[in-house]
Every structure is written in structure tokens, then in C-alpha cells.
Amino acid sequence: MLNKIKSAPGRKKTTFSILALVLGISLVFYPYAIVKGQEAFVTDRKIVIDAGHGGRDPGSTQCPGLYESVANFQIAELLQAMLMDAGATVYMTRDMDGNGEDDLADDETLTNADRYTYANSTNSDVLLSIHLNGSLDHTKNGTLGLYSMWRKDKEFASILHERLADELNVPDLGIYQFMSGVTMRFNGPASIQESVYISNTEECTALTDGTGNRQQQIAESLYNGLNDWFSAEREVFISPGQLK
């Protein structure tokens, strides 16, 4: 009995080392481990994605060749695909006709009322409004989260923001209250995330390099933030449903 107990930790150690090695190798060779490797808590959730601006409103025009409205939509579509892969139902404010085009000519100019009226009609759990910040100072960069109402939105904004601040490799500009018509009038938790500054020289270069990699990184961080919000551990504190 004593011998068995003595030998057990050795075997456990070996088993653990092998498991750690296998996990390490699979993480190295599996590029989307951050997204796909974790349990999907967004499954069966209903999520509104609001890509900011559009139509006659380009948003920030401080990145030559890429309007903020277009970049927002590119990120929104990547996020939509990830969420749908994970079994979530996604409603896009700027894709109401379902044609999936990110061509501004096909895009309607939506008011805040258009956006929240549509969003509320879907009876979704949360609303995420995707924006990129803009400044005439092209050295400025950082990630900023916005919320309208404390009880309804602040915790949601901070959970999303935490992921962006951890993963996007830009300064953490914190979360602020901002009375946006879209987030304020949505029935559930809602947040605007100004993920990075599109006007920043390096950021603009990355977003227009044709690979879509930066858009993908931003979409993945937003996905991770949404997944955190719906995760089992979070429901111990506040259930997303209770905030409605």
C-alpha cells in the first residue's frame, strides 16, 4: 500500500508531462486555439452586431483608402462567421437585406432609431456596436469601451474591453460612459467598442495590407469577450438575462 502511494506521484508526473507536451504542440500548430480551443458559451445565444456608420456616413476618414464604416463592417462579418460557427444566432443591423455586401453603394444610411428598433425586434441577449476610433493625431492609438447605463451596460462593456486590452497590443484607454442612442435604447446589455484607432499610421497600414489579419484579430478578441460574458463562471455573479 505504502509502495503504491509512493510510486503514484511519479506516474502522475509522467502522465501530466505528456499531456502538457501534447497540449503545447497542439497550441503551436492550431492557429485559432484562442477561439476554437475554448468552450463556446455563445451557443444558442442571440447577438446583435451593429457595424458603426455606413451609407452616407463614412465614420473616420483618417486612414487613406479605408473608411471606418467599411472596416467596421469587415470586422462585423468576421465576428458574425465565428459566432455562427459556434452556434449563436447573429443579427446584423447593417445587413438587414441579407446580401452580405460591404459595398457602401448598397448600404443604407441608418439612424440610431433604425438600429435600436431593429435590434429590439430580434429580442437578442446583447448588442455589440463595432467602431474604430479616429484622431487627427496619427500617433494616437488605444482601445476604449463605452457604456450608456451603469446597471444595464457597464459590466458588459468592461468584460469585452478586458479582452481587447489584453489581446490587441495597444494602450488600454479604459471604459467610459457615453450616452449613445443605440446602446441606451436597446433593451439588454449593450456596448460600443472602439477597438483601435483606424487613424493610427501603423494600425491603418495593418488594416489595409490586404490580408485581413488585423480585422481577424479584432474580431477574435470581440468573440472572446462575448464568450466571457456568457461563460458559466460569469453567470454565478450576474446572469445576462437578469440585466434585461
Residues near Zn ion (CB under 5 A) are: 52, 59, 131
As measured in angstroms, the least distance from the Cβ of 229 to Zn ion is 22
Residues 74, 65 contacting (CB under 8 angstroms): no
Amino acid, res. 76:
A
Burial of 205 (0-12, 13-18, 19+ CB in 10 A): exposed
As measured in angstroms, the least distance from the Cβ of 72 to Zn ion is 7
Query: Smaller CB distance to Zn ion: residue 54 or 59?
Result: 59
As measured in angstroms, the least distance from the Cβ of 53 to Zn ion is 6
Closest residue by beta carbon to Zn ion: 131
As measured in angstroms, the least distance from the Cβ of 69 to Zn ion is 8
Residues 219, 184 contacting (CB under 8 angstroms): no
Query: Smaller CB distance to Zn ion: residue 133 or 227?
Result: 133
Query: Smaller CB distance to Zn ion: residue 77 or 125?
Result: 77
d(CA 90, CA 92): 6
Cell of 192: 460600443
Query: Smaller CB distance to Zn ion: residue 86 or 110?
Result: 110
CA dihedral 41→153→239→51, nearest 10 degrees, is -30
